[in-house]
Structures are given as structure tokens and as C-alpha cells.
Amino acid sequence: MRLETGGLIDRAAPLGFRFDGREYSGFQGDTLASALLAGGVRLMGRSFKYHRPRGVLSAGSDEPNALMEVGTGARRRPNTRATVQELYEGLEARSQNRWPSLAWDAGQVSDLLAPFLGAGFYYKTFMWPAAFWERVYEPLIRRAAGLGRLSGKRDPDACDKAFAHCDLLVIGAGPAGLMAALMAAEAGARVILADEDCRPGGRLLAEREQVDGAPGHAWAAELWDALAQMPNVTPMPRTTVTGAYDGGTFGALERVAEHMARPPEAAPRLTFWRIAARRAILAAGALERPVAFPHNDRPGVMLAGAARAYANRWAVAPGRRVAVFTNNDDGWRTARDLSAQGIEVAALIDSRAGVTPPEGPWQLMTGTHVTDTRGRLGLRAVQTRDGGGRHRWLEVDTLAVSGGWNPALHLTCHMNGRPRWNPAIHAFVPASDAVPGLDVAGAALGQFSTRGAMKSGQYRARKALEALGFEPPSIPVPNAEDTPPRLSPLWQVPRTRGRAWLDFQNDVTVKDVALAHAENFRSVEHMKRYTTLGMATDQGKSANVGALGVMADLAGREIAQIGTTTFRPPYTPIDIAALGAGADGRGFAPHRLPPSHAYGLERGAPTVEAGLWHRAAYYPREGETHWRESCDREARMVRQAVGVCDVTSLGKIDVQGTDAAAFLDRVYANTMSTLKPGRVRYGLMLRDDGFVMDDGTCARLGPEHFVVTTTTAAAGQVMAHLEFCAQCLWPQLDVALVSVTEAWAQCAIAGPKSRDLVDGLLDAPLGAFPFMACGEVSVRGVGARLFRISFSGEHAYELAVPARYGDALFRRLVDRAETLGGGPYGMEALNVLRIEKGLLTHAELHGRTTADDLGLGRMVKPGSIGHRMRERAGLSGRWREQLVGLEAVEPGARLNGGARLVAAGAAQVRQMDQGYVTSVCWSPQLDRYIALGFLRDGRNRTGEVLDIVDHMRSGAAQAQVVPLPFFDPEGGRLRA
Amino acid sequence: MRLTCPLCGDRDSREFSYLGSATLSDRPADDAPFDAWHEYVHLRDNPAGPNAELWHHVSGCSAWLHVVRDTRNHQVLSIRLAEEGA
Amino acid sequence: MRYSGWQVIAKGLRGQRGWQPAWRDPAPKLAYQVIIIGAGGHGLATAYYLAKNHGITDVAVLERGWLGGGNVGRNTTIVRANYHLDGNTEFYSHSLKLWEGLEQELNYNVMMSQRGIINLAHSDGQMDFYARRGNAMRMQGDDAELLDRDRVRRAYPGLNHDNPRFPILGGLRQRRAGTARHDAVAWGFARGADRRGVDLVQNCEVTGFRIERGRVTGVETTRGFIGAGKVGMAVAGRTSQVAQMAGLRLPIESHVLQAFVTEGLKPVLPGVVTFGMGHFYISQSDKGGLVYGGDLDFYNSYAARGNLPMIEHVHEAGMALMPMLGRARMLRHWGGIMDMSMDGSPIIDRTPIDGLYLNGGWCYGGFKATPASGWCFAHLIATDRPSPHAMRLRLDRFETGHVLDEEGTGAQPNKH
């Protein structure tokens, strides 16, 4: 119910919204929770396990109960805390985890079964019959579990990520944070001041306190505005610092547009910030804790500070007739403030005897506890028990409960810091230096008075500024309330019957903790895991410390002896869209395109991924309806005339220096120093464990100048490896490495007519240019490099020009090829041509092959990387699987990559496995399927027929081992 | 985590890649006993505490760095160019 | 006390009174026949099978902290047997079979849920590789099937099948794979071992070994010396640290692997999905939280927590695979310390010290291995011979070159 006056709301700006289909209205400045309370809604959710009716407990991000689906269609966001969702016009909210309606929820039947559903009951049952778990029990459990529903659709709103840097990050813009930020700002430091709320002030927003004679919220707003005017200060409202990471890095979630129906044009919904801060101050305040007593979970039972916040900040009466139940002086303020707003406060119940709460228009009950409550969908009455043990019922619809305050020290736990119990204030306080560079100030440190928090903020800022080398200014501390509240611990009301909740969302009661204790789940972690306490969406913000108190009571020990509480990041949950911003669609991985890509698009060429590159798979011609038709034609074209293929994606590394040759001798298994300038050699690189890393070519352009190529997929790995060799292993060698993959566009020109094509293209006649020659040439005045190398077994060249000419070169080559009866060919045909020649890709060089497996063992020379460890017994020998050629025995029968091989007639079991198929193609040249594979002792098994084991796909039943290569074994075409 | 590259300055760790123990720089001689090679390739101290290790500024200047970092809390204790030796 | 639905009802009617402790808290004896270091899943399973399979009950499991507090309590609970190299296939196959009867074996509901796993493929080469892996699985006697694009689309409607960067071409599915409730596995084995007489000693850190003439005779602990005929190390994550106390240097590095869970959500995912191109995997727990993770943070670490670059990468992969995740919120993230071996496969073997046995190097595969690891380690300790299911998980394979490198990335642990 809305109060007539007061509140930080704009009564001139009413906002209409809907909850479960009913229309309500609130004001600008409301949260969804405050507007619902103002509209008389107390039942806002259902608990997870027992589907108990629940109302709002808190007024902040620690809310365990009032979780809702907000938004519609693809914008629906489940599990939204109504307490932090700012109201906007047209907001649609829906209760969740209930059926058919919030008031009549069939799931509540589980509450009737509660006597049997104690902590961990599911570990003890649902085991018979065994097959029933997946078929019966689990589907039922899964359907009943879960909270809100995802929309199942792609989010239409974008999110963003960004970096920020500062000298001092101040987390929280309450009294401590504002004073710390002011100090640092005046000192000239670059300051980021972040607060999860939309307004500065922190707890001051919820209080009726004065600071320097002005309302606390006004003081905060004025200071915030002044800070915002300073060029060295970045205020970040609606920004929750979610996690502390190494090196002064903090994660922060800015809710840019969640207070509106959809983001404005070009704005993100959320931005996830990585803030690199030289120092940081945590001034996140404190969170109030409830007290466990029977049926303390009914709608209408809320935290005393929250009740005050609703009345003071939002001008909402949390109920018509309120009782306050507290174990500390701070709770008294709720009675005072509510009463001052004209709300009937029936009783101020203080668990402490011998204290003198303020007098007022309420019944004072000291030394008294609340021992039970009534009301199915909302509180109707509470039962009290005075010091003499006399019970009585009190008709109230709201009970404001305070069990004291816990410092919001969560960020100090993110690097394994363990909070320490401070018996003076009956709360955990942060361990010092738990996060390097992070100081804690204000209530987060246990300084619960306003002025104490301000002083603490100033003090920590001074220390931080000194560490940063800034001169701290001298700034007077404003006048403000300066009395820390006194408290007498009360975790659970003693000597009561009935379920008393600790974790509201997960329905963990005192009895569950007691059961865990009885079953010897006595370490804090065992208790939490066994009961699920603290595992809900609020991560135990309201439950953890109370549960420790209960455990201490059970064990008859002090909390400090029981253990500590800890919190993992994030402080509040982060939308996956924010942390994964930009990755939907194409954004997840780089998408590299070769120079011929535009040409390929024009020709309708589909692309296939190779490494990060997307290369043309084939170039369909009119009338071709299947990729195989295009592929077969292109492969034949290369064998019969000439084909052009963009091979730019192959890694290219420029190696120069007086020791370049010596360097290459070490990194390649074979010798490169004997290579003459103007010549190219095949090269094999091993890892130091003796297995093959990569292969490629090495061209010597000059005495101290080489260009080495790598496979597309391994380009980055080989470059990093060579840099490692040059910088870490042999820094004394004079060698310089540059990746030139992107600098040169490179095209293969392959086929019997390739010489005609190339010769006609160059500015000067080609002359003698034997197989494995290389040299500098000129194409229409552009300096180019020509290599006589072949990945097809044909007479072939690779021509490289500066990348900006790549598109033009490719088109010119294709034009000329077409006049010679040829044309472009793609990856599919390239693959056919290389398989026919028994040449390798990473299907064969998969990291477990040795040079010997490939029949290249004799290439490996002493002194090269990998040659020592390849001597190990496991890396050679006939038991190893060796590269072989395979053909289907049945004519036309299909071979499949990934099929496995056993001896003919052998059992198809692991123990009989002889090898596997790596690369397969239809060879138009040989008119049958051919394959490469690895086979035990394969080189000695030529001619043998093997059984093919392929449970995955259908294909040939038998294959014969044939010699490699399949085509032109003498290599005559290559050298022609 | 942040690393201060001697050439580029203070950078986010996402600019770097990690290889492993700095002992990988101490490659045995070609004719060293097999045990030395086995140790070099496979065995690691794997300390819980300061660890000398090799990082590569792969998205920066391409320098390999010798970094001493505490594996218990990720605090970086020293950084130098790997090619400059100890 | 035998657990059953009847017991739950009977005790419920009596206000949950009468339950007995799940295990005792014994003070350590002066000596044991066998000491297992580490009351994680593997250590507890080892103790259980020592008692059950080999009748050795004079056993203590020593735990520095609380039992089940290591990686068994912080993993993403996936159980599968989809390896392709001899040595791994038979071991994980045995493990999956043990999982399938674990509830009845332990009289404890570990919630082994065989809702299947799929490894998504985005290229022909990946399809071939998965076919090869699937065939290896079938030849081992496990189930595997290669799904084409349409079948994946029907079985997993929530994915972005037409992602322009990584369209889904198909995938390798193992129906018998799934998830289990991780804590329950530790507790079930703990209770089972305790009932057979094994002493579970928590808050007892091993600080040294006593080794006489090349043979281990016991361990020094924070609760004094405890003698032992045989000592088994099952402390993955910390293996190097514990082995170092015995003078051993191992082919292992410790790395951090992060994991994530969302707030509870109504069911959107039937089983486990892995997106290899994004180093991403995800499943949904019975409670409704989406549990997911990705790759290592890449640097050596004992901090059991990671950093933002990998956190962001994992979420980016999630958005690429399942755009509907955008409005789900990550509730909690944490890290575990992985024993990364030099070939990515585990070690269950004797050590050069008589009576001292090694179980480690589990990389990310430890949870699904839990029952078989305990089974095989118990066999090794009891008989001094490797179990037939773990013949190749030897420590000397690095020297001999008989490595088990599933990923083919060589002796660089952060690449496995």
C-alpha cells in the first residue's frame, strides 16, 4: 500500500505494469517489488523444494524469494529478482515454478510430504528397481525442479564487453565508498566509482538519517554529481562488481538498459566490464540476516531493514499492522520509521532482556521471542513467548525481522581468502590482504555506523593513495549518526517446534542441519552440500552465517571453531549473454578469407573450413547437382589440362639471418643447409618427443633467406615453436622470423599445361625451371615468387604475389587456364589429387605419427629436434601402425574415413584391431574409392585383404593394401 | 592476470600464451644421456610456489618471456625476456 | 543401516530421528596394512574395493581436509566411455560398467543418469575422426552411434544448428553416458568403505613418508606417525607435491580447470553436449542448473580458481552453440586443480619405492574414472600386479614411448 507522502519516487510519472496478467501501477523510482507491495501483492513466488508460498524478504540483490520471469517472448528473463528490477512502463512479470497458478500450486503437495523429504533423502531411495531412475524418478524430479523458464529463443538484444583502467576502483557508493572516492578524486587519481543501485547512497537511501544537516540520500546525490563533474572520475551506476581476479582485474556487470523495455538504438542491454585497477576499495556495505523460528517463511515476514527501505525509499507500507522482531538496536529503527510514516506498529519484540528500546505507539516486549506464525498465503499472526515462557498470539500481517548484519565481504573470498569471526560484532569480517591491492571499508569491514563508515572510507582511501604515490587531501568527515548498534546473537529461537527456515529458496530448515549433524556431515562443506544450504540463486547471502550459528549451537561450540563461510564469484549472477557478448552467429571465432573468396562467391563456390580459413570447396558448373560431379571434373581437369587453386592459407614464414640455414637444420628433421639458393625441399618437423609436428616446404631464396611453408592448421603453432627455438633454445643464432602468411597471396597452378599458363603470364620467359626450383619473377611489373612444387603429382607451380594483388592474380590465372581447357579447383579436388599421390595432411599428421610410421624415418638426422626421443622403443617397430594405401575389394564399394581394420576373418574386437582409415576419396583417375590409412606393420602387408569394421556408416566390407602412391609412382608427370 | 612485457608494458594475460616450465629452455645436448632427455621432455618439479615458466607474447611483440610466478596465488614475481638469459 | 524408500518413510514418521552417522570418525591406529592418502573419490573407491574385492579391511584413508572435498566435489559430473586409444578404451569401458550398478552396489543413490552424451562435429574431417572413435568404442563393446545433421537436430533442438561459423554436421553419441551426483559418489564409497571396517581419518595431513631400505614403512602426519605395509597415493591435483615427499619427480603438471553453473531453470537440455570446436560442454543437473565448462586456463596453478579470459571464452562458446542461453545467468564459478599428465592419460602404477603406489595424472577424466580407478588401484595394491583393465596406465610409458596421447598434442599438458 502506497503512503501518501515521501519516498524517492516520482509521483508525477506513473508506470503501468502487469504481474501474472493483472494490471498494476507504480512510479518512476520503484522496483518491481516495491510496486507490487504498493499494489497489495504479498505472494510473489514459490520456494524450490516444497513450493511454499513466499513474499519478498529483502530489498536488494540478496533476495531469495521474489524471483520472477520478466519480459515476454525472446526477451523473457527467468529468475529476475523483483527487488532489483527497476520498474518501467509496460513491464510484464510472471511468477514461476508453480502450476497452475501462484496461489494454487499443485507442487505444494511436496510440502505435505515434507516429513519424508529431509536433507539428502534422495540419496537413500529411488534405487529400486534400477532402471526406474532414468525412466520414472528422474524425469519427475527434473520436471518439478528448476525455477524459471528460458524462452528457448535467441535474445534479440545485444550485449557488450569492454575494458576500463583506473588508479582506484571504489566498489559501492554508500557513505564509505563516496568518501573514499572523494578523497581519491581530490588527490587527482583516476577513479571508477561503481554501485549496483541506480542511485548513489547505499544504505542512506533506505534511512531517514541526516548527513551534515541534509537528508542522507540528498547528501549522497550531491556528492555523486560533484564527482561526476570531475574529469578523473567515472561514476558507474547500475554496475555490480561481480568478481575479483588476478593482477587487480575486476569483473563488473553494467545493466545498461534493463530498466527499460528494450535498449535504445545501438545501446547494449548489458555491458560486462573488465576493470584493471591499481588499487581497489570494497565498500559494499552489509546484508541483514534473518532469524530462524518456526514458519518464518510466510509472505509478510521480511527483513527489518527491508521493511524500512520500502517505507522510506519507496513510500510503501509493507503491511497494515506490523511487528518488529530484533536481537539488535538497529531493528528498533524499523519500528521508529514505520511508525513515523503512519504505519501501525503493533509490537517491538526484542529477544534481549535488559535492553531499553525506544518508547513509541507500540507494545514493547523485551526478552521475548517469536515462536510461530500463521497465515497460508500471507502472514496473519505471530506467536510470541516472553521470558516467563508465556505464549500469546499477535494479529499482524507483517513481521520485520533483524538478526543483525553481515559485512558484504564476498569479493574478499574470491581469491580463497577466509573471513574471520569477529566476536565483538558477532559477524564474519574480511581477512586482511585477501585480494592483493583490495582494501575494505565501511560496513563491509564491520563499521556499522554511518560516520564510522565514512571515516573508514577516508582512511582506506588515504592508505591506497599513499601506495599509489598520490598526496591524500585533507577532507572533513561530515556529521552523521555515529552509534554502532549493539547486538546479542540469535540464530534460532530456542525451544520451539516446527520447521524453521535458514535457506528460504532451497527450503533448508534447522531440522535439516540437525539431521546432517546427526549423520556426521559436520564440516561446514559437508553440511552445505548435504542440505543444499547456500546453493540457491542468492548463494547463501542470507543463510550461510545463520546456519553456522545453528551448527555451533548443535555442537556446543563457538562459530569460530565450527568453520568459516566463503563465497565464490560472481557476487550476483551474470547473464551469459554479457560474458559471451559478440559470440553469437559468426562472432565466436575468426573467419579468415583467402584472396580468391570474392571470385568463389561469384562462381557459387561453397566454402569449407581449414584452420580458421574458409576456402572454396569446389566451383560448380551449370548442370552439376552433386559436389562429387564438380570435384571429379576438377580433379580430371588438373590431370588432363591445368587447374588453379588458392593456397594462400598455408602458413608462410620468412627466415633470414647468417645462421638461418643452421637454424633450419635444427628445427627440421632433414637437412636444409645443403639446399642451394633457388631450390625448394620438402621438410618434416618433429616435436622434441619424437613425433611429427608438421610438414611443408622450405625454399631458399638467397644464402641467408628462406621461406618455409606450414600446413594451414598448424601455421600458428609452428610460428610460435620457431620463435621459441630462436629465442629460448638458441638465442645465440642470428636468425629472424616473420610470419608472412597474410602478406603473400599464393596460387597453385597444376597440370600438364601449367607451364604454358605460367610462361605466358610472366613478364619474362620462364626458361629452365626444374622441379623444386624457386625464384623471383615479375607479373605485369609486380614482384612475385615462383615455386615449382606440387601437391597434386602434376607438373605444377605455386605463384605468390603481394596479397593485395591476390584477387587479380587468381582471376587472371583462371581466365588463362580456361583458355587452356582448365579452370579453378577447390579443396575437394585438391584432396583427391593428394590422396592419389599418397601425400599427407593433418588427417595423417595427427600428433601420434612418427617419421617412421610415414616411411620417412631415414630423413631424420642427428642434431635435429625430436631425433633423440624417437629412438624410444615405443616410437618404431613393426607393431606400430604405418601409412598404407587401401582400395575397396568390391568394385565401386565405398570406403569411409574412420573405419577400422582387422585381419580377414578376425573377430571385430579391440584386441584384434590392426589400424584405421584416415583419408578417403573417389579417384576419377582410377575409377574407384581409394584411401590412406594406418596399419600395423603395414609396409610388409601389401596385397593383403583386410576386413573393414565400420559400425558408424555403411560401406565396403573389405579392403586391400596397395602400394603408395596410387598414381604415377615414378613421378614422371611431376618432373615432365 | 596481468603481465608486464619488458617490450610492451603492462598487458592483460589474454595477449599471451603459455608453454610450461622454464626448464624447457635448458635443452640437453644432442649426445646427453637418455635420462636427461626423458627428464627434459617429461618430468616437472611442478612446485606449489614460485615457478619459473615460459610465456609467449603471441598477440603482442612475439617475445618469449621468462616469468617467475607463484602457482598458489598467481602473483607474478619477475619477468624478463627469455633470450636474455638468467 | 540399509537405505531404502521404506526407511525414508519410517524415519520420516518419527521426525527423521534414528538415522545413524554415514561414517564413523575414528582416531587413527598406530599402523595399518594399507594406507590410502586422499579421501577423494578415487581414494575412497580404492579403500572400498580393497575391502570388497580383496578382503583387506585393515585400511586407513587419510584426508587433509574433509572427505570428498577435492576434485570429486568440484567437477561437472560427466560419466562417459568414449576414448579411442587402447589402454584408455578398456579402462573407461570397465568404469562405465561399474557406474551402471553403483547404486545397488553401494546402497546409495549416486544418481547415475544415462541421458547420453553427444560430441558435435562441424566438418567432414571431424566426422571421420568421430567415426574412428566410435568404431573403437564399439570394438571395445561399448555403445556409440554417429548421428547425421538431421538426427542431431531432432535429438537436441535447443542448439544453433545453423551457426554460420560452426554449422552442426553431425555428432558422435553414446547413450550410456551421462552424469552422476558427484558428492554422492564420494559419500557412497565412504559409507561403503566405513561399513566394511575402513578407517576414514579426516583432518589428517600427510607430511612425509618413512622409507627404509627402499621400502615405505609408514607416513608422518599432522596426527603423528602411522605405520603401513603399503601406501597408495590418490591425491590428483596434488600428486607432484605428495610424491615429492618420497623423492619422486613425475610427468605431471597441475593446472586449473574452471567450471560454471547457472541458476535453476526448467529443463532445456536432455543430456550432455560437447562442442569441441569451442572447447565447451554443457549438461543440466536434476536441480535445473546448467553445468558447463571449457578448457584449462593454460598456466600451472594450485590456486583452484581461474581468470576472466577463459571464463569469457567459455561463455562465448555457449552463446555460439546455444543462443537461448543469453538470458540465463551464471550463478557460480569455481576451479579445480588438475593433475595434467604429459600425454593426457592417467597413471595407476607402482613407484620405484617398494610398497608405494601411484594413482594420478587424471587430467579432466578423473570423475568418470572413479569406480574403475578404485577397482584397479585396489587390485594393484593387493596383488602387486596391474589390473587387466589398466595394463597400459604405466608410469614408465613416457620413457618407453608407449604413450596414450588421445589428443596428439605431445608432452605439453595444457594442450591435452
Instruction: Give the model confidence (pLDDT) of A36-55 as tens digits.
Output: 999 999 999 999 999 999 99
Q: Does A343 share its domain with A375?
A: yes
Amino acid at C49: Y
Among B46, B53, B59, the strongest candidate for a mutation testing the C interface, having the largest count of C CBs within 10 A, is B46
Is A767 exposed, middle or buried (CB count within 10 Å of its CB: 0-12, 13-18, 19+)? exposed
Q: Which tens digit of pLDDT belongs to each residue from A503-518? A: 999 999 999 999 999 9
How many contacts (CB atoms, under 8 Å) link B and C? 71
- What percent of chain C shows pLDDT beyond 90? 98
Chain B residue at shortest CA distance from A244: B1
pLDDT score for A712:
95
C8 part of a folded domain: no
Helical ranges in A164-255 per DSSP H: 175-187, 216-229
Residue A972 is part of a domain; what is its CATH number? 2.40.30.110
pLDDT at B86 > cutoff 80: no
pLDDT score for A892:
87
Q: Among residues A403, A421, A456, which one ends one of the domains?
A: A403
Query: CA–CA separation, C357 vs C229, rounded Å?
Result: 11
Q: Among residues A127, A155, A183, which one ends one of the domains?
A: A155
pLDDT score for C167:
94
Residue C288 is part of a domain; what is its CATH number? 3.30.9.10
Grid cell at residue C71: 576434485
Q: Which tens digit of pLDDT belongs to each residue from A243-282? A: 999 999 999 999 999 999 999 998 999 999 999 999 999 9
Query: CA–CA separation, A366 vs A372, rounded Å?
Result: 17
| Contact (CB, 8 A) for A59 and A40 | no
Give me the number of domains chain C comprises.
2
Q: Does A617 share its domain with A633?
A: yes
Q: Which tens digit of pLDDT belongs to each residue from A298-339? A: 999 999 999 999 999 999 999 999 999 999 999 999 999 999
Residues 6+ apart with CB under 8 A from A85: A31, A32, A33, A68, A70, A91, A93, A258
Q: Which residue has the higher pLDDT, B49 or B85?
A: B49
Residues 6+ apart with CB under 8 A from A258: A85, A86, A238, A269, A270
Q: Does C280 share its domain with C329?
A: yes
C299, C300, C411 ranked by CB distance to B42: nearest:
C411
Q: How far is CA A256 from the centre of its chain?
A: 20
Task: Categorize the per-residue pLDDT at B35 as very low, low, confident or very high, splitting at 50, 70 and 90.
Answer: very high
Q: Is C166 on the interface with A (CB under 8 A)?
A: yes
Query: CA–CA separation, A433 vs A721, rounded Å?
Result: 39
C-beta atoms surrounding A107 within 10 Å: 18
What is the rounded average pLDDT of the residues A460-484? 97
pLDDT score for A566:
87
Q: Does A266 share its domain with A385?
A: no
Query: CA–CA separation, B2 vs B9, rounded Å?
Result: 10
Give me the number of domains chain A comprises.
7
A520, A690, A896 ranked by CB distance to C21: nearest:
A520
Torsion of CA C268, C272, C273, C277, to 10 degrees: 140
Instruction: Report how far apart the first and last C-alpha atoms of chain B are (Å, whole number).
Output: 24
In DSSP terms, A274 is beta-bridged to A163, A251
Q: Does C311 share its domain with C243?
A: no
Among B40, B42, B59, the strongest candidate for a mutation testing the C interface, having the largest count of C CBs within 10 A, is B42
What is the rounded average pLDDT of the residues A890-899? 93
| Contact (CB, 8 A) for A251 and A569 | yes
Query: CA–CA separation, A809 vs A235, rounded Å?
Result: 54
Query: What does the radius of gyration of chain C's CA atoms come to, in whole angstroms?
Result: 21
What is the rounded average pLDDT of the residues A935-963? 96
| Contact (CB, 8 A) for A876 and A956 | no
pLDDT score for B81:
98
pLDDT score for A127:
86
Range of the domain at A658: 651-739
Residue A176 is part of a domain; what is its CATH number? 3.50.50.60
C-beta atoms surrounding A799 within 10 Å: 25
- What percent of chain C shows pLDDT beyond 70? 100
Torsion of CA A464, A467, A473, A476, to 10 degrees: 40
Q: Does C319 share its domain with C382?
A: no
Chain C CB contacts of B45 under 8 Å are 240, 244, 249
- Find cell 596453478 and name the residue: C301
Query: CA–CA separation, A699 vs A722, rounded Å?
Result: 16
| Contact (CB, 8 A) for C67 and C44 | yes
For chain B, domains (ranges, CATH) are 2-84 (3.30.2270.10)
Q: Does C151 share its domain with C241?
A: no
Q: Is C8 on the interface with A (CB under 8 A)?
A: yes
Residue A145 is part of a domain; what is its CATH number? 3.10.20.440
pLDDT score for A22:
98
| Contact (CB, 8 A) for A296 and A290 | yes
Q: Does A450 share its domain with A502?
A: no
pLDDT score for A131:
83
| Contact (CB, 8 A) for A83 and A31 | yes
Q: How far is A586 from chain B (nearest CA, A)?
A: 21
A592 part of a folded domain: no
| Greatest alpha-carbon span in chain A | 115
Among C1, C3, C13, C16, the strongest candidate for a mutation testing the A interface, having the largest count of A CBs within 10 A, is C16
Q: Does C164 share its domain with C290?
A: yes
pLDDT score for A297:
98
Q: Does C401 share its domain with C352?
A: yes
Q: Does A44 share its domain with A113?
A: yes
C7 part of a folded domain: no
Q: Does A717 share its domain with A622?
A: no
Q: Among residues C296, C325, C341, which one ends one of the domains?
A: C341
Grid cell at residue B35: 635420462
Strands lying side by side in the sheet with B50-56: B17-21, B50-56, B64-70, B76-81
Q: Which of A123-132, A226-235, C108-117, C324-333 has the lowest mean pLDDT?
A: A123-132
pLDDT score for A5:
94
pLDDT score for C383:
98
pLDDT at A651 > cutoff 70: yes
Q: Which tens digit of pLDDT belongs to each residue from A560-597? A: 999 888 899 999 999 999 999 999 988 999 999 999 99
Q: Among residues C341, C370, C390, which one ends one of the domains?
A: C341
Chain A CB contacts of C181 under 8 Å are 123
Per DSSP, A661 falls in state H
Q: Does C355 share its domain with C235?
A: yes
C12 part of a folded domain: no
Query: What does the radius of gyration of chain A's CA atoms come to, in whole angstroms?
Result: 37
What is the rounded average pLDDT of the residues A857-864? 96
Average pLDDT, chain A: 96
Grid cell at residue C73: 566435489
Q: Is B26 on the interface with A (CB under 8 A)?
A: no
Instruction: Report how far apart the first and last C-alpha atoms of chain C are (Å, whole number).
Output: 44
Residues 6+ apart with CB under 8 A from A25: A14, A15, A16, A17, A35, A39
Task: Categorize the per-residue pLDDT at A484 as very low, low, confident or very high, splitting at 50, 70 and 90.
Answer: confident
pLDDT score for A614:
94
Chain B residue at shortest CA distance from A738: B62
| Contact (CB, 8 A) for A931 and A958 | no
Residue A421 phi, psi (nearest 5): -75, 125
Q: Does A14 share its domain with A53?
A: yes
A246, A723, A728 ranked by CB distance to B62: nearest:
A723
pLDDT at A143 > cutoff 90: no
Among B30, B53, B67, the strongest candidate for a mutation testing the A interface, having the largest count of A CBs within 10 A, is B30
C225 part of a folded domain: yes
Grid cell at residue A924: 576419377
Q: Does A282 share its domain with A300?
A: no
| Contact (CB, 8 A) for C61 and C38 | yes
Residue A826 is part of a domain; what is its CATH number? 3.30.1360.120
The ipTM of this complex is 0.99
Q: Does C243 share its domain with C278?
A: no
Chain C CB contacts of B12 under 8 Å are 309
Chain B CB contacts of A246 under 8 Å are 1-2, 13, 73-75
Q: How far is C239 from chain B (nearest CA, A)?
A: 10
Grid cell at residue A397: 500481517
A141, A526, A577 ranked by CB distance to C319: nearest:
A577
| Contact (CB, 8 A) for C21 and C350 | no
| Contact (CB, 8 A) for A517 and A555 | yes
Test B13 with C250 for CB contact under 8 angstroms.
no
Q: Which tens digit of pLDDT belongs to each residue from C169-178? A: 999 999 999 9
Q: Which tens digit of pLDDT belongs to each residue from C183-203? A: 999 999 999 999 999 999 999
Q: Is B60 on the interface with A (CB under 8 A)?
A: no
| Contact (CB, 8 A) for C226 and C36 | no
Range of the domain at C193: 19-81+84-106+182-251+343-415
Q: Does A120 share its domain with A21?
A: yes
Q: Compute the Cα dihedral for A843, A845, A847, A849 and give only its sign.
A: positive
Q: Does A268 share its domain with A135?
A: no
Residue A197 phi, psi (nearest 5): -85, 165
Q: Among residues A697, A719, A739, which one ends one of the domains?
A: A739
Q: Does C324 share its domain with C288?
A: yes
Q: How far is A221 from chain C (nearest CA, A)?
A: 31
| Contact (CB, 8 A) for A681 and A838 | no
Q: Which tens digit of pLDDT belongs to each residue from A54-90? A: 999 999 999 999 999 999 999 999 999 999 999 999 9
Q: Does C30 share its domain with C165?
A: no
Test A728 with B17 for CB contact under 8 angstroms.
no
Chain A CB contacts of B54 under 8 Å are 724, 728
A35 part of a folded domain: yes
Residue C226 is part of a domain; what is its CATH number? 3.50.50.60
| Contact (CB, 8 A) for C172 and C119 | yes
Per DSSP, A248 falls in state G
Q: Does A86 share its domain with A19?
A: yes
Cis peptide before A590 (omega within 30 of 0): no
pLDDT score for A878:
85
Residues 6+ apart with CB under 8 A from C250: B43, B44, B46, C239, C240, C243, C347, C358, C360, C361, C395
What is the rounded average pLDDT of the residues A141-151? 92
Is C413 exposed, middle or buried (CB count within 10 Å of its CB: 0-12, 13-18, 19+)? buried
Q: How far is B3 from chain A (nearest CA, A)?
A: 8
Q: Among residues C341, C361, C387, which one ends one of the domains?
A: C341
C-beta atoms surrounding A743 within 10 Å: 13
Residues 6+ apart with CB under 8 A from C77: C179, C180, C181, C182, C283, C285, C291, C367
Chain B CB contacts of C240 under 8 Å are 44-47
A841 part of a folded domain: no
Chain B residue at shortest CA distance from C310: B14
Q: Does A384 share its domain with A419?
A: no
Q: Which tens digit of pLDDT belongs to each residue from C31-54? A: 999 999 999 999 999 999 999 999
Q: Which chains contact C through at least 3 pairs of Cβ atoms less than 8 Å apart?
A: A, B
Query: CA–CA separation, A714 vs A716, rounded Å?
Result: 6
Q: Does C321 share its domain with C365?
A: no
Could you tell me whether strands A67-70 and A91-95 are parallel, antiparallel, or unpaired per DSSP bridges?
A: antiparallel
pLDDT at C122 > cutoff 80: yes
Q: Does C272 share its domain with C387?
A: no
pLDDT score for A891:
86
C65, C113, C138 ranked by CB distance to A138: nearest:
C113
Q: Which tens digit of pLDDT belongs to each residue from A795-822? A: 999 999 999 999 999 999 999 999 999 9
A415, A416, A727 ranked by CB distance to B83: nearest:
A727
Residues 6+ apart with CB under 8 A from C398: B38, B41, B42, C251, C342, C343, C411
Q: Which tens digit of pLDDT belongs to each residue from C300-337? A: 999 999 999 999 999 999 999 999 999 999 999 999 99
B2, B37, B62 ranked by CB distance to A247: nearest:
B2
Test B12 with A249 for CB contact under 8 angstroms.
yes
